[in-house]
Homo-oligomer: A and B are copies of this chain.
Amino acid sequence: MIRHIVLFTWTDDATDEQKATVTAELRKLPDAIPELRSYTVGPDAGINQGNHAYGVVADFDSADDYLVYRDHPLHQAVIAEHIKPILAARAAVQIEV
């Protein structure tokens, strides 16, 4: 299994509505991309200082299935229209499980 993990921070002027839209749009993807075996997205819970603002964990049967998700036009549209406009920093890995 491949587990894709990505963390974001948002720009200072990102609105609560923009941040909520990221979650709403990402949560549409599992219905459109059956390669997604498990998909966890959401804002940081505020337990610790210094955290990133948002996390995504996506599980796939294989690296090829991850690439289908990575390059899927609906996923790319969420990135272009909703994430990049408020993105300040991004950290990612893919790990074999």
Chain A residues near B (Cβ < 8 Å): 2-3, 5, 7, 40-45, 47-48, 50-55, 57, 63, 66-67, 70, 89, 91-97
| Neighbouring B residues of A93 by C-beta, 8 Å | 7, 44-45, 51-55
In the complex, which of the residues A44, A66, A92 has the most CB atoms of chain B within 10 Å of its own CB atom?
Answer: A92
- The residue on B at minimum CB distance from A92 is B51
A5 touches B95 (CB 8 A): no
Contact across chains for A5 and B7 when beta carbons are under 8 A apart: yes
Are A97 and B52 in contact (CB-based, < 8 A)? no
Nearest chain B residue, comparing its CB with the CB of A6: B7
State A82–B38 Cα separation when bound (angstroms).
31
